[in-house]
A and B are shown apart, each in its own frame.
Chain A
Amino acid sequence: MAEIEIKTAPADFRFPTTNQTRHCFTRYVEFHRCVSAKGDEAAECDKFAKYYRSLCPAEWVDKWNEQRENGTFAGPL
C-alpha cells in the first residue's frame, strides 16, 4: 500500500445534528438495500459501504451483520 486516499463519508443534510446514530444506521441500510436491488457485485453500492464503515462503530456493524444472518435485523431491508 503506497498512497492512501484521504476521503470520508460526506456531511449529510438529513443528519445535521450532533447525534449521528441514525446517519450510520441509514447508510448501513442503504448499502444492504442497494445490494439486494443491484446484486452483490454492483459497484454503485461500494460508496455506501465506505460511508457506513466510516460512520459506524465496528461493534455495531458486527451486531447488525449477525442480526441480518438470523433474520432479526430491525431495519427496512
Chain B
Amino acid sequence: MILRSLECRFLTIALCDAAEPWQLGSQDAATPMMQGIIDLHHDIFFFLILILVFVSRMLVRALWHFNEQTNPIPQRIVHGTTIEIIRTIFPSVILLFIAIPSFALLYSMDGVLVDPAITIKAIGHQWYRTYEYSDYNSSDEQSLTFDSYTIPEDDPELGQSRLLEVDNRVVVPAKTHLRMIVTPADVPHSWAVPSSGVKCDAVPGRSNLTSISVQREGVYYGQCSEIRGTNHAFTPIVVEAVTLKDYADWVSNQLILQTN
C-alpha cells in the first residue's frame, strides 16, 4: 500500500485522479488552479520546516543550558530592545512571504469575469446529483439533463472504484473554460473534485459559481463534501474530460437520445 502511494507520488505512470489508499499528498493537478494550490502548499511548507527547526533548536537549547544543575542562579532579564525588535519584524516578514502568494492564488481563483464556453449546472440531491446542460435548450423544457447515481457497493465492475463510480459521468471538454453552477434541491451539498482544485458549496436557494478549465483529458473523482444525512458520504462525483470534438458529439447524441 505504501509502495503504491509512493509509486503514485514519484513514478508517474498514470496521474492520480482518484483517492488512493493511505494517500498523504494531494491528487495530481488537472487545472492551473490545483497546480497553484499544490505550489502554495509547498511554498508554505518551506517556512513551516524553517520555523519548526528554529523553534525546536531554541527549546532544546534552553532546556539543555538553563536548568538547576548547570545554572543554579537564574538571570533576571526582563527587557531587551534588540531581541524584541527582531522577534517582531522577523515573523511579520515570514507572514508577508506566505500572504503574498496566498492572496495572489485566492484572487486568481475567482476569475469570474472570464467568458466561459459552457455552463453546467450541478444540482445536489440526497443522494445523487442532477446535471443540466442547458446551453442547447430552445424552450424551458430541459433537453439535456441526467441523474448521476452511485454504483452500489456490490455492483462495481472490474476496474471501477468502490463507492466512487457513478452511472452517468459529467462529460466536459478539456482545455475549455467551464462555468459550474452549483445548487442543491434539498439539504446543503458541496461539489468537490480534488484534481481540479474545486470545492463549491451548494446552498439551498442560492446558486454558486465556480470556473474550471481542465487541462488534460481524463476521469476525475470527487465526493460530496457537505455531509448532511445518513449515507450522504457516498455521493461521488465523476468528471470525464474529453476533447472538444468528442464533447460536441456526446452532446448531439444525448440530445437525440433525450428528445426521442
Q: Which residues of A contact B (CB under 8 A)?
A: 1-11, 13, 15-21, 24, 50, 53-59, 61-62, 65
Q: Which of B135, B207, B210 contacts A57 (CB 8 A)?
A: B207
- Contact size class for B? 35 or more
Query: Would you give 28 A-B contacts (Cβ < 8 Å), ordered by A?
Result: A1-B252, A3-B248, A4-B248, A4-B252, A5-B136, A6-B117, A6-B173, A6-B176, A8-B116, A10-B115, A11-B116, A16-B113, A17-B112, A18-B110, A18-B112, A18-B200, A18-B208, A18-B209, A19-B209, A50-B137, A53-B140, A54-B119, A55-B119, A57-B121, A57-B181, A57-B207, A58-B134, A58-B140
Q: Let me know if A53 and B116 touch, CB within 8 A.
A: no
Q: Please, which residues of chain A bring their CB within 8 A of the CB of B113?
A: 11, 13, 16
In the complex, what's the smallest C-beta–C-beta distance from A54 to chain B, in angstroms?
4
The secondary structure that dominates the A interface is: loop
Task: Give per-residue flags for B152-182: 1 if the beta carbon is below 8 A from chain A beta carbons, else 0.
Answer: 0000000000000000000001001001010
Q: Please, which residues of chain B bring their CB within 8 A of the CB of A5?
A: 136
In the complex, what's the smallest C-beta–C-beta distance from A3 to chain B, in angstroms?
7
Q: Please, which residues of chain A bring their CB within 8 A of the CB of B244?
A: 6
Q: Let me know if A20 and B209 touch, CB within 8 A.
A: yes
With A1-B252, A11-B114, A57-B132 given, name 12 new contacts (CB 8 A).
A1-B255, A11-B115, A18-B209, A18-B210, A19-B206, A19-B207, A20-B207, A21-B205, A24-B207, A50-B137, A54-B134, A58-B134
Q: How long is the Cα–Cα vector from A15 to B121 in the complex, in angstroms?
A: 17
B26 close to A (CB within 8 Å): no
In the complex, what's the smallest C-beta–C-beta distance from B173 to chain A, in angstroms?
8
B183 close to A (CB within 8 Å): yes
Q: Let me know if A58 and B142 touch, CB within 8 A.
A: yes
B40 close to A (CB within 8 Å): no
Among B132, B185, B209: residue with most chain A CB under 10 A: B209
Q: Please, which residues of chain B bring their CB within 8 A of the CB of A13?
A: 113
